[in-house]
Structure 1
Amino acid sequence: MARVVVVGGGYGGLASAARLAKLGHEVTLLEATDTLGGALGTESEAGYTWDAAATATLLPAVIRDLFRKSGRPVERELDLVPLDVIREHRFVDGTSVRLPGGTRGAQLAAFDELGPGLGQAWVDHVASFADDWEVLRRGYFEVPWDRDRLPKQVAARLHSRETLHKRLRRAFRDDRLALVAGHPFVAAGHDLRNVPAWAGLHAYLEQRFDAWTITGGMARLAAALEARLATRGVTVLRLTRALDLVVREGRVAAVGTELGEVAADVVVVAIDPRRLPALAPYVERTMPAIPPVVAHLGLDGDVPDVPHELVLHGDPMLVVRHGGTAPPGGTAWTVHGRGRLAEDLLRALARHRLDVREHVVARVDRSPRQLVDEWGGSPLGVLWQGRATVHQRLGPDTPIPGVYTAGAHATPGAGLPYVGLSAALVAQAVGPA
C-alpha cells in the first residue's frame, strides 16, 4: 500500500483519488479552498444558481468507467441525459444551424438545410477522424504513453505538421462549416493555426457519442465523487494549500504545505504544475488557455427561448448557455464572451436581437483573471502552441519519480472527458497496492 497524496480537489483530483483508493492505496487529498469540485462548482445569487463552468460532457463512458472502477455504477448516483441539440450556431449573415449529436443522418440533414451539399461535406469531414480516434484511443488517450517509444501510427499523428486551420480550409468551401468545426477550440481560447489537425476529432466524438448533461447540474458530479471519497476512506484536508513537492534522494517524499509536510510515496498533481516550484521548470514553455469573460444572468418574465447552448458568431463571439436553477417565473442564463469586447455583454447580446436587459434581476460577472484565481488555474488546460505542446506538457508521468499529473493541464484538450481519462491513466501508471 502506497501513501498517495493528491494535490487539488477539482474533477481531476477527485477522480484520481477515488480510483487510487479503490486500488487499495492510502489516499490523502489536499484542497486549497474550503470546497471540492473546482470548476464543477456553482455560482449563486438571489435564488438563482448556475454551473460555474462545464454544463455538458462528451464520452459518458469515461464517467461510467470512473464510477464502476471506484464503487457503485453511476446510474445509482446520477442521471445522465443526452442532448437532442448539442448547440445552435447563428452566423453573421443571419443563417443558423442546430447541431444534433449521436447520429450521422441527423447531422447530414441539419447541414443540408443550411445549404445544398453541405450535409455531405460535413459528414465527410467528421468521418475523416474515425481512424485518428481509434489510433489515438488505443495508443494515447487510454494508456500511459512513453514519449520516446510511441507506436508508429500514434507518432505519425502527434508529429504531423498539419494544423486544424489548414484541414478546415481544405475540407470546406463554406466558411460557416469551418466555424462550427473550429468552435470548441476557439471557445477554449485557442488559435486554430496552432491546434494540431487530429484534435478536430472532437466533432467525431460529438457525432458518435452525443453530448450529455446531468440532471440537477454538473455540480452533482462533484458531490457524488466527494461522497465516493468518504466511502473509500480518503482523507480530505481542506484549506490546505500545497506549496511545493519535497524531493529526497531523487524521489518525491512529501508535499510541503502551509501547515507542514504531508508524507507521500506517490503524489498526483491535479493543479497547474506551474504553481509548484519543483515542477514549474518542466512546463516553462507552455501557457494556460485563458477562460472567457463570463456573466451569469438571473432573468424574469418572458425571455427568448434558446437551446442548451447558443453560439453567436462574430467578433466578439458570444455563447449563451441555458440552464441552472431559477425561482418560479425565472430563467438562468450564462453568457461567455471572446474577442473584441468593447461593450457590456448584454449590449452585445442585444445587437443579436437577444435583448434581456430589462429582465435582469441577478447578475454575477467573472473576468478571466478572477476565474483563474478562484480555481487555482485554468480549467481549459494548456494553450495549443503547435504540435510540440503534446510533449511540453506533463502527464500522466513527470521527470520526478513518484510524481504524476492529472486534470486539465495534463490532457490534450479541455473538457471533462479528457480530464477523466487523465485520472484513469494515473491509476494505470500507479497500479494496485
Structure 2
Amino acid sequence: MARIAVIGAGMGAMATAARLAVAGHRVTVYERASTHGGSVGRFERDGFAFDTGPGLLHLPAVWRDLFVKTGKEPLERCVELTQVDPASRHVFADGTDVRLPNVSRAGILSSLEAALGPGSGERWGSFLGRARDAWERSRRPLLEEPLPADTSPFSKDPYPALRQGLLRRPARTLGEIGTRELRDPRLAALLGSHATAYGLDPRTAPAAAAVLPYMEQTFGSWYVKGGLRALADAVHERCLARKVEFVLGTAVTRVLEKDGRAVGLELDRGGPVEADIVVSGAPVPSLFENRVVSGDRPAEWPRRRTGGRTARLTVHLALRGGRPADAVHRTVVHAPDPAAEWDAIDAGTTGPRPTVVVMRPDDPLLRPDDDHETVTLTATVPAALSGGRTWAEAAGAAADRMVEAAQAAVPGLRERILWREVRTPDDIRRDTACAAVPAPALAGGSGAFLPVPSTGPLSGLYFAGGWAHPGGGLAHAGMSGALVAGLIVEGADFRGSR
C-alpha cells in the first residue's frame, strides 16, 4: 500500500483518488480552496443557484465507468441524468434559427435542411461521416492510452479532408473545413462554435477538431439534476466512501524531491507531508509559474497554439417570470463576424459582440419558485486584456453586450433581470489558480495541440485533470483519472483503460 498525496480536488484529481483508494492505496487530497470540484463550482444567492463551470455532460460513459469501478452503486443511483432535447438551438447572424435534436443524426440533418436550405443537411452529414473516421482513428491511441514518449504519430491529422481546388490540397484547419466542405457561413459557424467553446480559434485549430461536434451529436448531451455541481458532489462522496482523506483550505507550495523523485509535499500550513507518489490535479502552468515543481517547465508545455490566452466570461442572471415550456436548455447565439471575434481575442480586447452560449436549465432546484428562472451566459474572451486594462474595468460593458445578444434566445430578457453576477477570468484565476481554458487533446497541427503527458518530470509525479493528457473537458478529465490510476497500479505494463 503506497502513501499517495493528491494536489487539488478537481474532477480529474478526485477520479484518480477514488480509483487508487479502491486499489488499496492510502490517498490524501490537499486542496487550496474550501471545497472540492475545481472548476465545477456553484454560485448561490436569494434562492437562485448556478453552475460556475460546465452546464452539460457529454460522454457520461466515462463517469459511469468510474462509479462501476469504484463501487457497487452506479452513477444513476447517485445523480439523476436526463438527455437534453433539443440538444441545442443555434441563432445565426442573419436571423436563421435551428434546433438540433439529441442523438438523432437523421433529425439533425432534417433540421438543418429545413432551416438552412437544400443541400445543407447532406453536406453536414457527409462531414460527420469524415469526422467519424477521425474519431475512430484517434479515440483509442489519443484518449484511452498513455501518451507515448514519441508523439510524432499524432502530428498527422486523422481527418480525411476532401481534396479540392486546383492543387487538390485538403483542408488543414477546422475553419477551412467550414469554407471548403460545408460551403455555408452558417454551417461554418455551427462547426466553429464547438472549437470556440474550448478556447480554440477555428482558423488555426486542426481539422481533427471535427471530432468535437461528432462526439456531441453521436453520444448526446446530458443534464444532471441540481446542476453539474451535483456530479462533483457525488464523486466527492464516492471518494469519502473509499476512505480518501481531504484536507481543504491548504495550499501546496512545493513538491518535495529527493534524487530525482517526488517524495512528498510542502504545505502553506502544517509540516511537510511524506508520500511515495504525488498526483497533481492542479493546472500544469501554475505548477511551474509558482515553482511548486522545481526546474524548467517541460518542453511539452504549453504546446497548444492557444497558449493559454483564452478564458470564459460568465454572466449569471436571476430572472423574474417563469421559464416557458418551450424554452431550449442551450442556445448558441452566433457572433455576426466570427473572424472579428477572434481578431479581438488575439488583440487582447473585448472587441465586437462574441458568440454567446445561453443556458436555461429547467430545474426547480436552481430557482426559488416557478415564478422565477435562472439563466447563465458564457463567452470566450482573452484571459488577460491588453493595454493595462483589467477585467474589473471591462467586465460590465462586455456583460452588457452579452445580455443584448442573448435577447435573441430569451425575448424580453433585459426587462426580466432581477440581478446579475458577472464572473471574470480574474475570478476563475482566484478560485482555480488558472483562468485559461484547457482544450481536449487533438491530433494534427504538427503535434501543437497535445497536452503534457500523465507522467511528470520527476519519478513518482503524475499529472491529472484538464491540463494533462488527454486534455480539457469533463469527460477528458475523467479519462485522465483512469489513465493515471492505471499507470500507478499497473506500472510499465499498463496499456490503457478498458
C-alpha distance in structure 1 between counterparts of 2:422 and 2:91, whole Å: 24
* Alpha-carbon offset, residue 249 of structure 1: 0.5
Deviations along 1:159-216, one digit per CA (max 9) or x if unpaired, are 9992222222221110111111111221332211221211220111122211111122
1:308 to 329, 332, 338: 329
Q: Which amino acid aligns with 1:181?
A: L
- Name the amino acid aligned to 1:308: H
1:220 Cα deviation after fit: 1.0
Rounded Cα–Cα distance in structure 1 between residues aligned with 2:432 and 2:399: 26
Match of 1:388 among 429, 447, 452: 447
Structure 1 gap segments, 5+ residues each: none
- Per-residue deviation, 1:275: 2.2
Partner amino acid, structure 1, of 2:297: P
Structure 2 vs 1, CA of residues 213 and 352 (structure 1 numbering), >3 Å: closer, same or farther? closer
Map 1:364-383 → 2, pairs under 5 A: 364-378=421-435, 380-381=437-438
How far is the alpha carbon of 1:413 from its aligned partner? 4.6
Q: Secondary structure at the match of 1:423?
A: helix
- Give TM-score, length-normalised by structure 1: 0.92
Matched, 1:423 2:457: no
Aligned twin of 2:338: none
* Aligned residue number for residue 291 of structure 1: 311
Give the distance between the partners of 1:122 and 1:145, measured in 2 at CA: 32
Q: Is 2:131–2:159's contact at 8 Å kept on the other side of the alignment? A: no
- Mark the CA change 1:300 to 1:353 in structure 2 (over 3 Å): closer, same or farther: closer
Match of 1:270 among 267, 281, 301: 281
After TM superposition, the structure 1 stretch with the greater mean CA deviation from structure 2, 191-200 or 122-131, is 191-200
Query: Equivalent pairs: percent with the same residue?
Result: 33
The match for 1:319 is 357
Q: How does 1:32-431 map to 2 (within 5 A)?
A: 32-71=32-71, 72-114=73-115, 115-148=117-150, 154=154, 156-157=156-157, 162-259=172-269, 260-276=271-287, 277=291, 278=293, 281-282=297-298, 283=301, 287-288=307-308, 290-301=310-321, 306-314=327-335, 315-323=353-361, 325-328=366-369, 329-338=371-380, 344=400, 345-350=402-407, 354-378=411-435, 380-381=437-438, 386-391=445-450, 393-431=451-489
Provide, for residues 249-274 of structure 1, a one-character-per-residue CA deviation record: whole Å limited to 9, x for no partner: 01111122112322122111111122
CA contact (8 A) 2:159 2:207 kept: no
Alignment check: 8 A CA contact 1:23 1:432 kept:
no
Q: CA deviation at 1:351?
A: 7.2
Distance 2:29 2:51 in 1: 23
Q: Is the 8 A contact 2:156 2:446 kept in 1?
A: no
Contact 2:2 2:276 in 1 (8 A): yes
Is contact 2:195–2:209 with CA below 8 Å preserved after alignment?
no
| CA distance 1:285–1:338, shift in 2 (3 Å) | closer
Structure 1 281/339 Cα, relative in aligned 2: closer, same or farther at 3 Å?
closer
Distance 1:353 1:58, change over 3 A: closer
Structure 2 spans left out of the alignment, 5+ residues: 161-170, 336-352, 383-396, 492-498
What are the superposed Cα offsets for residues 104-144 of structure 1, whole Å, 9 maximum, x if unpaired? 11111111112111111111111102222122222120111
Deviation for aligned residue 1:352:
7.1
Conserved 8 A contact 1:12-1:407: yes
SS in 2 for 1:130: helix
Kept after mapping to 1: 8 A contact 2:358/2:406: no
Offset of residue 300 of structure 1 = 0.9
**Are 1:395 and 1:406, in contact at CA under 8 Å, matched by a contact in 2?**
no
Deviations 1:294-340 (A, max 9, x none): 11011012566631111111132221101261112100000113469
After TM superposition, the structure 1 stretch with the greater mean CA deviation from structure 2, 282-291 or 129-138, is 282-291
CA 1:427–1:159 in 2, change beyond 3 Å: closer, same or farther? farther
Work out the CA distance in 1 between the residues paired with 2:48 and 2:199. Answer: 28
Classify 1:204/1:46 alpha carbon distance in 2 versus 1 (closer, same or farther; 3 Å).
same
Change (3 A) 1:19 1:137: same
| The 10-residue stretch of structure 1 (308-317 or 27-36) with the greater mean CA deviation from structure 2 | 308-317
Report the alpha carbon displacement of residue 26 of structure 1 after superposing the two structures with TM: 1.0
Determine if contact 2:14/2:236 at 8 Å carries over to the other structure.
yes
Separation (CA, whole Å) in 1 of partners of 2:399 and 2:226: 33
3-state DSSP class of the match of 1:39? coil
Structure 1 residue 289: Cα displacement: 5.2
C-alpha distance in 1, partners of 2:201/2:151? 29
Alpha-carbon distance in structure 1 between the residues aligned to 2:158 and 2:253: 33
TM-score (norm 2): 0.80
> Helix, strand or coil: the match of 2:203?
helix
DSSP 3-state at the match of 1:162: coil
| Residues 264 and 208 of structure 1: CA distance in aligned 2, closer, same or farther (over 3 Å) | same
- Listed one character per residue, the Cα deviations across residues 83-118 of structure 1 (whole Å, up to 9, x for unaligned) are 111211101111011122312111111111121111
More off after superposition, 340-349 vs 237-246: 340-349
Contact 2:90–2:331 (CA<8 Å) still a contact in 1?
A: yes
Q: Secondary structure at the match of 2:58?
A: coil
Quick check: 1:20–1:27 contact (8 Å CA) kept in 2?
yes
Matches of 1:376 and 1:103 in 2, distance apart? 39
CA distance in 1: counterparts of 2:408 and 2:226, whole angstroms: 32
* Letter of the 1:369 counterpart: D
Give the SS at the match of 1:207: helix
**Superposition RMSD in Å:** 2.6
Q: Give the secondary structure class of the aligned counterpart of 1:191.
A: coil
Tell me the CA shift for residue 53 of structure 1: 1.4
Q: What SS does the aligned partner of 1:192 have?
A: coil
Seen in structure 2, the aligned counterparts of structure 1 residues 284 and 122 have a Cα distance that, compared at 3 Å, is: closer
CA contact (8 A) 1:396 1:404 kept: yes
1:399 CA drift (Å): 2.3
